[in-house]
Copies of this chain bind each other. A is one copy, B any other.
Amino acid sequence: MSLRSHTLGAVTESLLGQRISLCGWVQRRRDHGGVIFIDLRDREGLVQVVCDPDRAEMFAAAEGLRNEFCVQIEGVVRARPAGTENAQLASGKVEVLCHALQVLNPSAALPFQLDDENLSETTRLTHRVLDLRRPQMQHNLKLRYRVSMAVRKYLDAQGFIDIETPMLTKSTPEGARDYLVPSRVNAGQFFALPQSPQLFKQMLMVSGFDRYYQITKCFRDEDLRADRQPEFTQIDCETSFLGEDEIRPLFETMIRRVFKEVLDVQLADPFPVMPYSEAMARFGSDKPDLRVKLEFTELTDVMKDVDFKVFAGAADLEDGRVAALRVPGGGEMSRSEIDAYTEFVKIYGAKGLAWIKVNDAAKGRDGLQSPIVKNLHDAAIAAILARSGAQNGDLLFFGADRAKVVNAALGALRVKIGHSDFARARGLFEDAWKPLWVVDFPMFEFDDDAQRWVACHHPFTAPKDEHVEYLATDPGRCLAKAYDMVLNGWEIGGGSVRIHRAEMQSKVFSALNIGPDEARAKFGFLLDALQYGAPPHGGIAFGLDRIVTMMTGAQSIRDVIAFPKTQRAQCLLTNAPSEVDEKQLRELHIRLRQAQPAA
């Protein structure tokens, strides 16, 4: 005999008059007019069960029920009395008259109420098993599953096959810090957990698998920020024989399908495409949030000879920038609001935040209110007004510093203002899904500390065909066949066409100051593989945790992961990590360092 004939999601009018058996948890018990009402809950829904006192044995059992008891009931589906229907529930037109009731497992009193919205993260993660019973968490993980299945369905139809790559792999100490796994059999040696399957997927292309994907765990031992976890999940894809312009549509279609299938949201078709340089110029960010209707105005060229030293100095720097952010209607902002934003941009390294209120643009200089106007010459003021298109009542914020600082500070300010109630009230924020491809990334950026060029994406990214010559002569000018998918200010995917010829790979290693010996030691297997007719190939990796976080509107990726770690990289549920036996360490040929090592 089955305990259950239907899940609770299936209990609707279609079952009227039928005798059914149900299993679930007591969400709530109400005693009303001598009758006991039970809200029974399972993964699929909520059903009202009615216990009449005529069935004494059953009623006695019902009287003993407490919240979160796990029960099985048998009963008959009947219509709810007129006026007591609940339109919120799939089962809201019916109830089940209980004939028999069995407690499958009682429950101790919960340490918190499941509907408490103010639980601390510590409480939630310590009692994760109960926290996961909350409807929002059930929703999040079910949605996560639907996303990954929609991805699989799409990729399968496109000829991608899921191939598992190793979890115990080789440590290559660049990029992020590796998680290491000591080897017992090979004393003194270590595996590393993969930061991504990048090289394995490239090798699968060389092996001729043509199209690969994997939804797989990746690991980075970094200090954790709000949206980072030691282990995270990547939708990792690679294809052969396609160029950049073919790879992008293939994967934006995937994301469009996922949003349509899971959220019934129609994303733009096609996604807009924007060069990196344009994104930085207009938004100061390579992942601009296009919901925010605010843009930068470029002013570097007209500020070189103004009296205002902050602007002139920045404009004169080789890597300097002066830009304005126009805030329509911002003239209404109070001095204290402006002061708060001034404090805010300091987080990003800005030394101050110059501003101009446009009271009457037709009057030029005289229509402006600002501490800095007196030190700007007429041409500069004219350019500010003309280029920004400022209207009466607008506010202009200025950034002047090294371009990196201006972009970071003014870019963050743009998002900060753009998400504020002020912007929402004035239509400067569009509550929508705004996808975007950012393309034409630089190959390299100069690492000031190391005084050398480092790869912006990774060292296996192909340069633009027409920029190959710059590899040796002017690496900073060399653009890459790299692309990021951006959604509402989050990078949700990133990829590139890869280098498929050994000689090109060597050139890029040279540009990165990785000599032949070092290249061979670290990436010999890749260089070898490229020797044997490696096909043109490229791919992309999406952050599943992040995509699902956005789709569910969760506050943190921890809310879309069943058993996440805290920001101290601990699992509060199982108490991992933990100390281990000395015997285990001995077998692994390691010992603990003393907090105070002997001299």
A interface residue numbers (CB < 8 A to B) = 2-4, 7, 23, 25-26, 41-44, 68-70, 72, 104-108, 110, 127-130, 132-133, 137-138, 141-142, 144-145, 148-149, 152, 156, 159, 161-171, 173, 177-193, 199-200, 203-204, 206-210, 217, 219, 221, 223, 230-231, 233, 240-243, 246, 500-501, 524-525, 528-536, 561-563, 565, 568-571, 573-581, 584, 586-593, 595
Shortest Cβ-Cβ A-B pairs, 5 listed:
A107-B533, A132-B207, A170-B576, A189-B577, A70-B533
Assess whether A241 is in contact with B592, with CB atoms less than 8 Å apart. no
Chain B residue numbers with a CB within 8 Å of A127 are 528
Assess whether B565 is in contact with A168, with CB atoms less than 8 Å apart. yes
Chain A interface mostly: loop
Which residue from chain B places its CB closest to the CB of A159 in the assembled complex? B7
Assess whether B129 is in contact with A149, with CB atoms less than 8 Å apart. no
In the assembled complex, 8 residue pairs joining A and B whose CB atoms fall closer than 8 Å, in A order, are A3-B242, A43-B209, A107-B532, A152-B152, A167-B231, A168-B219, A171-B578, A189-B578
Assess whether A164 is in contact with B68, with CB atoms less than 8 Å apart. no
Query: How far does the Cβ of A245 sit from chain B's closest Cβ, in whole Å?
Result: 10
How far is it, in angstroms, between the C-alpha of A2 and the C-alpha of B595 when the chains are bound?
Answer: 60
Chain B residue numbers with a CB within 8 Å of A108 are 531-532
Assess whether B145 is in contact with A105, with CB atoms less than 8 Å apart. no
Assess whether A577 is in contact with B162, with CB atoms less than 8 Å apart. no
How far is it, in angstroms, between the C-alpha of A591 and the C-alpha of B595 when the chains are bound?
Answer: 12
How far is it, in angstroms, between the C-alpha of A589 and the C-alpha of B182 when the chains are bound?
Answer: 13
Assess whether A592 is in contact with B240, with CB atoms less than 8 Å apart. no
Contact status of A536 and B104, CB under 8 A, knowing A183-B569, A562-B163, A584-B180: yes
Assess whether A170 is in contact with B577, with CB atoms less than 8 Å apart. yes
Contact status of A208 and B167, CB under 8 A, knowing A162-B149, A535-B23: no
How far is it, in angstroms, between the C-alpha of A536 and the C-alpha of B70 when the chains are bound?
Answer: 9
Which residue from chain B places its CB closest to the CB of A189 in the assembled complex? B577
Assess whether A575 is in contact with B170, with CB atoms less than 8 Å apart. yes
Contact status of A170 and B578, CB under 8 A, knowing A188-B592, A209-B132: yes
How far is it, in angstroms, between the C-alpha of A481 and the C-alpha of B507 when the chains are bound?
Answer: 63
Residue among B106, B149, B595 making CB contact with A533, cutoff 8 Å:
B106
Assess whether B4 is in contact with A241, with CB atoms less than 8 Å apart. yes
How far is it, in angstroms, between the C-alpha of A246 and the C-alpha of B1 when the chains are bound?
Answer: 9
Query: How far does the Cβ of A1 sit from chain B's closest Cβ, in whole Å?
Result: 9
How far is it, in angstroms, between the C-alpha of A179 and the C-alpha of B169 when the chains are bound?
Answer: 13
How far is it, in angstroms, between the C-alpha of A590 and the C-alpha of B137 when the chains are bound?
Answer: 38
Contact status of A579 and B188, CB under 8 A, knowing A162-B145, A562-B164, A584-B180: yes
Chain B residue numbers with a CB within 8 Å of A169 are 571, 574, 576
Q: A4-B241, A141-B161, A186-B568 are in contact. List 9 more A-B contacts (CB 8 A).
A: A23-B240, A108-B532, A133-B207, A142-B161, A164-B233, A169-B574, A188-B592, A190-B579, A591-B593
Assess whether B576 is in contact with A25, with CB atoms less than 8 Å apart. no
Assess whether A149 is in contact with B141, with CB atoms less than 8 Å apart. no
Contact status of A69 and B580, CB under 8 A, knowing A164-B562, A166-B571: no
Chain B residue numbers with a CB within 8 Å of A105 are 500-501, 530, 533-536
Assess whether A241 is in contact with B23, with CB atoms less than 8 Å apart. yes
Assess whether A569 is in contact with B70, with CB atoms less than 8 Å apart. no
How far is it, in angstroms, between the C-alpha of A528 and the C-alpha of B580 when the chains are bound?
Answer: 23
Assess whether A577 is in contact with B166, with CB atoms less than 8 Å apart. no
Assess whether B173 is in contact with A580, with CB atoms less than 8 Å apart. yes
Query: How far does the Cβ of A90 sit from chain B's closest Cβ, in whole Å?
Result: 16
Determine which residue in A142, A210, A561, A577 has the highest number of CB atoms from chain B within 10 A of its CB, and name it. A577
Assess whether B170 is in contact with A561, with CB atoms less than 8 Å apart. no
Contact status of A593 and B595, CB under 8 A, knowing A170-B571, A525-B129: no
Chain B residue numbers with a CB within 8 Å of A217 are 164, 167
Assess whether A589 is in contact with B584, with CB atoms less than 8 Å apart. no
Chain B residue numbers with a CB within 8 Å of A209 are 43, 132, 138, 141
Chain B residue numbers with a CB within 8 Å of A562 are 163-165, 200, 204
How far is it, in angstroms, between the C-alpha of A192 and the C-alpha of B167 when the chains are bound?
Answer: 13
How far is it, in angstroms, between the C-alpha of A189 and the C-alpha of B579 when the chains are bound?
Answer: 5
How far is it, in angstroms, between the C-alpha of A105 and the C-alpha of B587 when the chains are bound?
Answer: 47
Residue among B41, B148, B208, B242 making CB contact with A25, cutoff 8 Å:
B208
Chain B residue numbers with a CB within 8 Å of A3 are 241-243, 536
How far is it, in angstroms, between the C-alpha of A516 and the C-alpha of B128 when the chains are bound?
Answer: 23
Contact status of A528 and B129, CB under 8 A, knowing A164-B561, A180-B584, A563-B200: yes
Which residue from chain B places its CB closest to the CB of A182 in the assembled complex? B180
Which residue from chain B places its CB closest to the CB of A163 in the assembled complex? B562
Contact status of A578 and B190, CB under 8 A, knowing A204-B132, A584-B180, A590-B592: yes
Which residue from chain B places its CB closest to the CB of A576 in the assembled complex? B170
Assess whether A171 is in contact with B535, with CB atoms less than 8 Å apart. no
Which residue from chain B places its CB closest to the CB of A169 in the assembled complex? B576
Query: How far does the Cβ of A203 sit from chain B's closest Cβ, in whole Å?
Result: 5
Query: How far does the Cβ of A366 sit from chain B's closest Cβ, in whole Å?
Result: 59
How far is it, in angstroms, between the C-alpha of A203 and the C-alpha of B70 when the chains are bound?
Answer: 14
How far is it, in angstroms, between the C-alpha of A163 and the C-alpha of B589 when the chains are bound?
Answer: 35
